C-alpha cells in the first residue's frame, strides 16, 4: 500500500468514527426531552468535549468533565472567549444564528472546523438545537479532536498539489493507460502530441503510434497487466503533433487509477539523443581509427599512470612489457635535460592552456634508448576523470639528419677553405719555381736547375699529401669511406710506409727505424685506413723533427690488441695545444722544421679511422724534446 493510500484510509476511518459518535449522541440522547442533569450524567462519561450554550446570550451554561478538565470552569463565559480566544464576539456561527429567527431545521446538524491556536490543534464542532426541560431551546456543541485527520488531509492535499505541479512541469510526457486509452495526461503529453486534454482523454493510444508498433504496444501493455513480463522499459516510435515519427523511451508501472488497475507511462523523447548517439558513435569510430592507426605514438595518462596507448607506441615497447607500461610514471620517460621544459608545459595546461607543443626534447623509450621527440600535451577527460593526452612525434631521424646536414655543410665550408688557402700554396710554389726554372734553362745553370727541380718535387709532394688527407677527411665526414676490415700483417704495412718516406728521411738526415716485441703481428683493421694513419703519423714526425734527428716505429703486443707507436725527437707540442690536435673543428697546424706546411686535418683523419676500427689514439709529448703518437689495433680474429 502506498503512502497516499494509507493517508486516505486513515482519513476515512476518522470520519466514520466521528460520524458514528455524532449519530449516537444526537439520536440516542437528544431525541428525548430530558433534564440537564440527565444529560450531564451521560456526557461526563464521554472522552469528547461537550458544552451547552444559550442560543441568545451565547453564554456557556454547561460543560462536561472532559471540557472542564481541559479549560477549567467555563460556565458563564462566552463561547468565543474560551474556544476562539476572542475578547469580543460573536463567532461566525453565533453571529449567523443570532440573525436568524427560525433556524431549527436549517441548523439542526451544522458542522464547523475550528483551529485552536493556543493548542495548535484542529477541532470539528458539531452543533445541534435541543429542547432542555425547564430551560427551553439551547445549542448543544460537541467538539471532536480532528487534528490528526485534518493534518493528514492537509498533507494529502499538499502532496496532491505537489504531484500535479511536478507532473505538469516535468519535460517527460506522463499518462495513465487503461483499456488502451488515455485516462490521465500531463501538460508535457499535451505539448508532445499538440492536442489539449479533452482531445486526448479516452482516445485510443493506437491512433498515435507508428503502424509497426501498434500491435506490439497493446501486446506489451496486456503482458504487463497480466504480470507476464517483468521488463518496465520499452522503445517505440510515436507520431508527434507535426506528424513526425519520434523515437521514445517509455517506463511503465502498474497503478490503481480511480479504483481500477491501470498502467502509468513515463515517456521520454529520445529522438535527439539517438541522433547524438549516432553521431557520437560515428565520431568515436573516426577518432578510434585516428588513434589506433596514427603513425605517431599516442598515450593517455591519468591518475599517475598510462591508461591507454595506440599501436604506434607498441614498437617502442617489448611485448613482455605491455602489462608493465601501466606502472610507468610519465616523468620517468623524460630525459633529465628536458624535465624542466616538460614540467613548465604541464603547469600551463593545469592553468587552462588548451594544448602545448614542445619541439625537440629528449625522452627514453621503454627500452631505455634516448630519442628526440616533439610532443603535444592537452588536458582531457577520460572515463570521467581528469587526464592528459600526449601525442608523440619521433624526430630522432630528423635531428640526426639535421646534424648530418650541419656536419656536411661544415665539411663543405672547411673543404673550400682549405682549397682556397692551403692547397693554393703548393701550386703557387710550383708555378714560381717553374718560372725560375725556365730562366735557368736558358742560362744553362745546372746546379740551380737541380735545386729548383727538388723544390718543385717537394711542393708537388706536399700538395699531393694535403689533397690526399683532404679527400680522406671529407669522405670520413660524409660517411662515404668504404670500411673493409681484414686481417693484415703489421710488418708488411709498416715496412711499406718506411720505404715510402725513406728518401724524405734521408733528405733531412733523420734515422728512421722499426722494432717489434713479438713475431705475431697480425691485426684486424681496414688496410687502407691503417696505411693512411701510418703515413700521416710518419709525415708529421718527419715534418717536426730537425735534421740529424731520430724517428722510431715500435709495435707492442698486448692482451687483445697491438699498440703501434711513432716516436720522434722533434719539437714536441706545448701543453696548451695538446687537446687541439685531434679536434677537426680547431684545424690546428704549425710550420715544420724546414717550414713545411700542413692543413691540420691529418691527425683528425687518424682519430676518425682509429675509432672506426674500435681502437684508441693518444699522445705523449714534451715540448722541445719530441712526441710519441700511439694507437691500438685489435688482434686478428
CA distances from 188 to 185, 200, 203 (A): 8, 12, 17
Query: Within this chain, do residues 489 and 622 fall inside the same structural domain, yes or no?
Result: yes
Sign of CA dihedral 137, 143, 144, 149: positive
Residues 387, 380 contacting (CB under 8 angstroms): yes
Q: How far apart are alpha carbons 351 and 382 in whole angstroms?
A: 19
Residues 74 and 178 both lie in one domain: no
Range of the domain at 310: 294-394
Find the farthest-apart pair of alpha carbons in the chain and give their distance in angstroms, rounded. 189
| Structural domain includes residue 92 | yes
Q: Are residues 262 and 135 in the same domain?
A: no
Listed residues 394, 423, 443: the one ending a domain: 394
Task: Tell me whether residue 418 is in a domain.
Answer: no
Examine the domain organization and report whether 512 and 622 are in the same domain. yes
Q: Domain boundary residue among 244, 274, 304? A: 274
Find, among 585, 586, 589, the residue nearest to 600 by Cα.
Answer: 589
Q: Per residue in 14-73, pLDDT tens?
A: 556 655 655 555 554 444 445 666 667 778 888 888 888 887 788 888 888 888 888 888
Question: Residue 438 falls within a domain, yes or no?
Answer: no
Q: Please tell me whether residues 266 and 179 are part of one structural domain.
A: yes
Is 439 inside any structural domain? Answer: no
Among 223, 244, 274, the domain-final residue is: 274
Within this chain, do residues 62 and 29 fall inside the same structural domain, yes or no? yes
* Predicted local confidence at residue 487, as pLDDT: 92
DSSP-derived 3-state class of residue 248: strand
Give me the half-sphere count of Cα atoms (radius 13 Å) on the Cβ side of residue 252.
Answer: 23
Mean pLDDT of 273-293: 83
**Among 62-71, 320-329, 379-388, whose mean pLDDT is lowest?**
320-329
Q: Are residues 486 and 630 in the same domain?
A: yes
**Which tens digit of pLDDT belongs to each residue from 606-628?**
888 899 899 999 888 888 888 99
For the stretch 492-544, pLDDT in tens is 988 888 887 787 788 788 888 888 877 788 999 988 889 888 888 888 888 88
Q: What percent of the chain has pLDDT over 70?
A: 77
Do 148 and 175 lie in one domain? The reply is no
Query: Is residue 508 situated within a structural domain?
Result: yes
Decide if 580 contacts 587 (C-beta within 8 A): no
User: Domain with 38 in it: what CATH number?
Assistant: 3.30.450.20
Q: Are residues 212 and 322 in the same domain?
A: no
Confidence of residue 488 (pLDDT cuts 50, 70, 90): very high
Residues 247 and 329 in one domain: no
Q: What is the rounded CA–CA span in Å between residue 119 and residue 122?
A: 9
* Structural domain contains residue 236: yes
How many whole angstroms separate alpha carbon 175 and alpha carbon 593? Answer: 114
Q: Are residues 503 and 629 in the same domain?
A: yes
How far is Cα 189 from Cα 228, in angstroms, rounded to an integer? 27
Shared-domain flag, residues 43 and 127? yes
Query: 337-370 b/e with 16+ CB inside 10 Å = b?
Result: ebeeebeebbeeeeeeeeebeeeebbbebbeeee
The CATH number for 621's domain is 3.30.565.10
Residue 417 resides in a domain: no
Burial track 600-634 (b if 16+ CB lie within 10 A, e otherwise): bbbbbbbbbbbeebebebeeebeeeebbbbbbbbe
Q: How many domains does the chain have?
A: 4
pLDDT at 595 over 60: no
In a domain, 319, yes or no: yes
Residue 464 CB partners (closer than 8 Å, separation 6+)? none
For residue range 386-436, list pLDDT tens digits in order.
Answer: 888 888 888 888 888 888 788 777 766 665 655 554 555 566 667 776 777
Give me the DSSP letters along 324-345.
GGGG--GGGGB-GGGHHHHHHH
SS3 of residue 453 by DSSP: helix
What does pTM read for this prediction?
Answer: 0.41
Amino acid at each position: 500500500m502506498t503512502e497516499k493510500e494509507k493517508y486516505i484510509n486513515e482519513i476515512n476511518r476518522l470520519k466514520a468514527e466521528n460520524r458514528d459518535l455524532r449519530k449516537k449522541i444526537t439520536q440516542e440522547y437528544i431525541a428525548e426531552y430530558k433534564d440537564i442533569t440527565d444529560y450531564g450524567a451521560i456526557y461526563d462519561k464521554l472522552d469528547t468535549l461537550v458544552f451547552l450554550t444559550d442560543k441568545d446570550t451565547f453564554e456557556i451554561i454547561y460543560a462536561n468533565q472532559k471540557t472542564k478538565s481541559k479549560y477549567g470552569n467555563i460556565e458563564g463565559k462566552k463561547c468565543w472567549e474560551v474556544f476562539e480566544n476572542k475578547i469580543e464576539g460573536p463567532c461566525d456561527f453565533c453571529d449567523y444564528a443570532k440573525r436568524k429567527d427560525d433556524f431549527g431545521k436549517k441548523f439542526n446538524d451544522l458542522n464547523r472546523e475550528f483551529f485552536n491556536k493556543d493548542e495548535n490543534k484542529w477541532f470539528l464542532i458539531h452543533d445541534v438545537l435541543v429542547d432542555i426541560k425547564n430551560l427551553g431551546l439551547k445549542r448543544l456543541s460537541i467538539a471532536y479532536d480532528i487534528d490528526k485527520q485534518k493534518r493528514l488531509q492537509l498533507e494529502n492535499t499538499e502532496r496532491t498539489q505537489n504531484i500535479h505541479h511536478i507532473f505538469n512541469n516535468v519535460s517527460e510526457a506522463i499518462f495513465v493507460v487503461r483499456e488502451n486509452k488515455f485516462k490521465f495526461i500531463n501538460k508535457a503529453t499535451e505539448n508532445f502530441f499538440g492536442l489539449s486534454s479533452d482531445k486526448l482523454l479516452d482516445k485510443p493510444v493506437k491512433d498515435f503510434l507508428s503502424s509497426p508498433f501498434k500491435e506490439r504496444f497493446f501486446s506489451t501493455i496486456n503482458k504487463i497487466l497480466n504480470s507476464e513480463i517483468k521488463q518496465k522499459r520499452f522503445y517505440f516510435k510515436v507520431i508527434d503533433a507535426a506528424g513526425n515519427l519520434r523515437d521514445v523511451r517509455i517506463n511503465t508501472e502498474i497503478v490503481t487509477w480511480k479504483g481500477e488497475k491501470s498502467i502509468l507511462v513515463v515517456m521520454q523523447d529520445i529522438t535527439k539523443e539517438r541522433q547524438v548517439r549516432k553521431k557520437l558513435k560515428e565520431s568515436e569510430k573516426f577518432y578510434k581509427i585516428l588513434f589506433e592507426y596514427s603513425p605517431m605514438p599516442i598515450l593517455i595518462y591519468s591518475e599517475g599512470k598510462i591508461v591507454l596507448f595506440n599501436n604506434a607506441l607498441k614498437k617502442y615497447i617489448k611485448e613482455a612489457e605491455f602489462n608493465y607500461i601501466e606502472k610507468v610514471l610519465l616523468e620517468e620517460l623524460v630525459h633529465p635535460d628536458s624535465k624542466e621544459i616538460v614540467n613548465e608545459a604541464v603547469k600551463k595546461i593545469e592553468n587552462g592552456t588548451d594544448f602545448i607543443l614542445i619541439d625537440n626534447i629528449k625522452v627514453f623509450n621503454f627500452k631505455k634508448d634516448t630519442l628526440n621527440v616533439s610532443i603535444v600535451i592537452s588536458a582531457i577527460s577520460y572515463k570521467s576523470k581528469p587526464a592528459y593526452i600526449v601525442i608523440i612525434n619521433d624526430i630522432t631521424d630528423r635531428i640526426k639528419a639535421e646534424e648530418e646536414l650541419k656536419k656536411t655543410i661544415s665539411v663543405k665550408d672547411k673543404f673550400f677553405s682549405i682549397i682556397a688557402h692551403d692547397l693554393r700554396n703548393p701550386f703557387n710554389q710550383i708555378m714560381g719555381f717553374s718560372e725560375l726554372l725556365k730562366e735557368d734553362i736558358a742560362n744553362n745553370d745546372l746546379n740551380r736547375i737541380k735545386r729548383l727541380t727538388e723544390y718543385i718535387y717537394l711542393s708537388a709532394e706536399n700538395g699531393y699529401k694535403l689533397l690526399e688527407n683532404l679527400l680522406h677527411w671529407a669522405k670520413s665526414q660524409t660517411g662515404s669511406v668504404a670500411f673493409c676490415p681484414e686481417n693484415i700483417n703489421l710488418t708488411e704495412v709498416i715496412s711499406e710506409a718506411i720505404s715510402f718516406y725513406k728518401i724524405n728521411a734521408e733528405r733531412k738526415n733523420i734515422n728512421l727505424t722499426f722494432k717489434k716485441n713479438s713475431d705475431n703481428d697480425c691485426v684486424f683493421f681496414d688496410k687502407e685506413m691503417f696505411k693512411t694513419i701510418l703515413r700521416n703519423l710518419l709525415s708529421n714526425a718527419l715534418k717536426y723533427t730537425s735534421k740529424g734527428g731520430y724517428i722510431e716505429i715500435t709495435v707492442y703486443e698486448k692482451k687483445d690488441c697491438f699498440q703501434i707507436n711513432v716516436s720522434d725527437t722533434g719539437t714536441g707540442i706545448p701543453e696548451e695545444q695538446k687537446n687541439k690536435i685531434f679536434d677537426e673543428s680547431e684545424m690546428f697546424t704549425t710550420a715544420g722544421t724546414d717550414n713545411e706546411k700542413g692543413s691540420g686535418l691529418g691527425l683528425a683523419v687518424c682519430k676518425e679511422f682509429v675509432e672506426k676500427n674500435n681502437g684508441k689514439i693518444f699522445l705523449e709529448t714534451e715540448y722541445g724534446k719530441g712526441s710519441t703518437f700511439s694507437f691500438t689495433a685489435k688482434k686478428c680474429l
